[in-house]
Amino acid sequence: MANFYLDNPSMKHHLHHPLMKRIVELKERDFADKDKYDYAPQDFEDAMDSYEKVLEIVGEICGEIIAPNAEDVDHEGPSVANGRVTYAKGTQENLDAVRKAGLMGIAMPRRYNGLNFPIVPYIMAADLVSRADAGFENLWGLQDCAETLYEFGNDDQRERYIPRVCNGETMSMDLTEPDAGSDLQSVMLKATYSEKDNCWYLNGVKRFITNGDADIHLVLARSEEGTKDGRGLSMFIYDKRNGGVNVRRIENKMGIKGSPTCELVFKNAKAELCGDRKLGLIKYVMALMNGARLGIMAQAVGLSEAAYREGYAYATERKQFGKAIIEFPAIYEMVSLMRAKADASRSMLYETARFVDVYKALDDISKERKLTPEERTEMKKYSKLADAFTPMGKGMTTEYANQNAYDAIQIHGGSGFMKDYACERLYRDARITNIYEGTTQLQVVAAIRHVTTGTYLNQIREYEAIEYKPELAGLQNKLKAMTDKYEKLVAMVTETKDNEYIDFQARRMVEAAAHCVLGYLLLQDANKDDSFRRSAEVYVNYGQAEVEKISSFISNFNREDLTYYRQ
Amino acid sequence: MSLKIIVLAKQVPDTRNVGKDAMKEDGTINRAALPAIFNPEDLNALEQALRLKDAYPGTTVTLLTMGPGRAAEIIREGLYRGADGGYLLTDRAFAGADTLATSYALATAIKKIKDYDIIIGGRQAIDGDTAQVGPQVAEKLGLTQITYAEEILNVDEKTRRITVKRHIDGGVETVEGPLPIVITVNGSAAPCRPRNAKLVQKYKRALGAQEKAALGDALTHTEMYESRPYLNITEWSVADVNGDTAQCGLSGSPTKVKTIQNIVFQAKESKTLTSSDKDIEDMIVELLANHTIG
């Protein structure tokens, strides 16, 4: 029996982080549900045991159902007829399995029939699902939208919609349009209020909508006639039961082919306002995007893991010149770096997930009672860290997923170019991760202020202050030197006070910070568990050279040379 | 209409991937080398029972298994998937049973349960491959039996008759029988649903008396076994089911093992293919999939 949770000990390692105690305590409100629901945990140990048991279910479904279906789903894909989408047969089986296993609405409160899990175990499930089939993760992972509904919907909306998601109905977030991609301020889908029917009607077109034929949609639409920017946009809930939205076509994509990407036509589609008018983009979509970005990070981590495993397996089996190719330095370097990037990405994912967990739980509690001053400080701290780590993590992990998928094919040689091996699917699936939910370039835009204001540096210095085992001193010294170099090059760039120049060097600075962060996270992993030592060593060697390269580029760069770049 | 269903299930050593150490020198199974699992076709049977529960609200699904204390795991696995309860037949006197003694023990337990409409189990267990227990239980209870079932189509409330699709050589046939009835399910039936996240959290502490005793002081949250009775898995001894010890276990088993031979399988699974395009295409797809060609 293949089990993706049990066959990868690093999952358990990341689940059992010291901060989980605080997270569970907050999420469970000191175990207030323990006698109200027969499936609620009694105490911290009980909660952790439940997360593990549920992740074992996820791991088994991934290993036994979703992964074996992935190839057929990739070939068959979904289809559209009469405005409705039909999933590939394998996708239907996958959905049936996750529904019967009760894996929808994992993070939702029990009163709405959810499991009330923190983000960490939820995102771990996403990591597992993505390793099995990244395209399916999109459909399953859209339960994220319930989180937005929970955060911004009113009580009545929560009660009507969230239990439906927990019972297995799917969701979509309808944001982009033909002329509004990265620039969501240009959304034109029109929302008009009818006094007579006491409801809103939506008219227009949405494009590139993942799972666009979902049961429940969150829709960004222009409610304020005559406006042109983000302040005229509101968020709406569209219920498929009411009708009015048809799927005009589904895109023929390069990868994640099992996940239908739809063009939607809204024709007097009845909808209800979610939250306040005019806050659609500036508040709700921003919140939704941060959650979605964490989901894409999980998708990237699952893909990195899958690519590493495919590459490693082939390198071990394939014999050339009388030995397995993994014995050649050129190949084993590639394999070990893939492992290191997958491990570093995973550490980043769970570090970010923990930050999100603490601040979201406190935010949720703040709706029930006034937070103490200590709690407010705690929430602020973690909210800021989540805000800084999400774009950095999304940027790095998705680029690494692509690099790992690329290397997996390289290890396979000519065979990897054929459709016979999974690595070519992983390569195609990975390609979207550094594009959607904000391209890497846009992640840099979000991350750069944490370079200039020092959020990253402060956090790195905190990692530096942790006590490490003596045998890790060599690594620690390298990381310290990397950090010093990072600090210097940031000063070098920012003291110019030239915004265009800062933007030009932004990605390099964010990456330099990321190499320090990822290196320190792996160092902490190795500090607790020796099996991470290898990845820590390999990654720091790699990161050190990358920081060196960045530093060299920036130190030698003449600002006037920008003219050669401007188009 | 609600039904009362009893699912017969067995904990078996996983014989699907046996290694060299699967058998001991004396020819008996080396249980330590083989993980204990839910007999695969019993899972197919459980799924059929759970589908009836989905289709006919109020239906109850009860597992019945025989084995040592740790076989309570089978009941838990059933509860995790939606069963309502279970009984573990466990007693030294049940040990060493062949199919006759097993069906005797199961039949006496079923008589004790008394109220049932459908008794359903897998066609056979992978450790013995006899396919005798289900039919013997039907005989002992004087009930109609349908073997090799692939799908239960429906239960008619008025006539109290059940319609079942069963596997036959080269196809399927649809048959009908009266309740109460014994059904054995083929491995070609729908696979069992996964464990459910809420049910696993609800029942993860469910234990039999022997398991609780084995845990001793390591047993936590002891008060919950009183406040939540469903956490106690019922164990029945020979006496509990008013059984005749002489008909149970080794003493009730006329089967005698004469010799045991070590056999090395030579031939691989054989397949007959016709010259039709479909068969040729299927073969190519299979050979491509396992990288024999391409």
Q: How far apart are alpha carbons B32 and A373 in whole angstroms?
A: 57
Mean pLDDT over residues B13-26, rounded?
Answer: 76
Going by C-alpha positions, the residue among A409, A401, A455 that lies closest to residue A433 is A401
Q: Which pLDDT does position B260 carry in this prediction?
A: 76
pLDDT tens-digit series, residues B200-240: 999 999 999 999 999 999 999 999 999 999 999 999 999 99
Mean pLDDT over residues A458-465, rounded?
Answer: 98
Query: Quick check: B150 and B140 in contact, CB under 8 A?
Result: no
Helix, strand or coil, per DSSP, at residue A192:
strand
A-B contacts at Cβ under 8 angstroms:
53
Query: Quick check: A15 and A345 in contact, CB under 8 A?
Result: no
Assess A102–B contact: CB distance below 8 Å, yes or no. Answer: yes
Residues 367-426 (A) with a CB less than 8 A from some CB of B: 418, 420
pLDDT band for position B274 (50/70/90)?
A: confident
CA angle A408, A411, A413 (to 5 degrees): 115
Q: Tell me the ipTM for this assembly.
A: 0.94
**Chain B CB contacts of A41 below 8 Å:** 201
Q: Which pLDDT does position B16 carry in this prediction?
A: 77
Mean pLDDT over residues A530-538, rounded?
Answer: 98
A532 Cβ contact list (under 8 Å, min separation 6): A10, A13, A343, A522, A525, A526
A356 token code pair: 């999100």
Mean pLDDT over residues A70-95, rounded?
Answer: 97
| Mutual angle of helices A373-412 and A440-452, in 10-degree steps | 140
Q: Which pLDDT does position B267 carry in this prediction?
A: 62
Q: Which pLDDT does position A445 carry in this prediction?
A: 97
The minimal CB distance from B198 to the residues A65, A97, A102 is found for A102
Mean pLDDT over residues A352-376, rounded?
Answer: 96
**Chain A CB contacts of B190 below 8 Å:** none
pLDDT tens-digit series, residues A128-156: 999 999 999 999 999 989 999 999 999 99
Q: Which pLDDT does position B15 carry in this prediction?
A: 81
HEC string for A30-58: CCCCCCCCCCCCCCHHHHHHHHHHHHHHH
Asked if A102 and B221 come within 8 Å (Cβ–Cβ), the reply is no
Provide the mean pLDDT of chain B. 92
Assess B16–A contact: CB distance below 8 Å, yes or no. Answer: no
Q: Specify the residue for token string 């008018």.
A: A277
Q: How far apart are alpha carbons A146 and A135 in whole angstroms?
A: 20
pLDDT band for position B29 (50/70/90)?
A: confident
Distance from CA of B202 to the nearest CA of A (A): 4
pLDDT band for position A214 (50/70/90)?
A: very high
Q: Are strands A261-274 and A199-210 parallel, antiparallel or unpaired?
A: antiparallel
Assess B200–A contact: CB distance below 8 Å, yes or no. Answer: yes
pLDDT tens-digit series, residues B63-105: 999 999 999 999 999 999 999 999 999 999 999 889 999 999 9
Q: Which pLDDT does position B268 carry in this prediction?
A: 65
Instruction: Output A306 or A289, whichever has higher pLDDT.
Output: A306
Q: For residue A354, is pLDDT > 70? A: yes
- DSSP secondary structure letter of residue B23: B
B249 token code pair: 């276990």
Q: How far apart are alpha carbons A374 and A130 in whole angstroms?
A: 37
Asked if B228 and A41 come within 8 Å (Cβ–Cβ), the reply is no
Provide the mean pLDDT of chain A. 97
Burial label for A349, CB within 10 Å (0-12, 13-18, 19+), is buried
E strand or H helix at A92, and its extent?
Answer: helix A89-100
Which phi-psi region, left, alpha or beta, contains residue B67 (left: φ > 0; alpha: ψ -120 to 50)? left
Asked if A101 and B199 come within 8 Å (Cβ–Cβ), the reply is no
Q: Which pLDDT does position B291 carry in this prediction?
A: 76
Assess A59–B contact: CB distance below 8 Å, yes or no. Answer: no
Asked if B199 and A57 come within 8 Å (Cβ–Cβ), the reply is no
Q: Which pLDDT does position B272 carry in this prediction?
A: 80
Residues 111-130 (A) with a CB less than 8 A from some CB of B: 115
Assess A100–B contact: CB distance below 8 Å, yes or no. Answer: yes
Which ranges of A281-328 does DSSP label H, i.e. alpha helix? 286-317
Report the sign of the C-alpha dihedral through residues A552, A556, A558, A561, in that order. Answer: negative
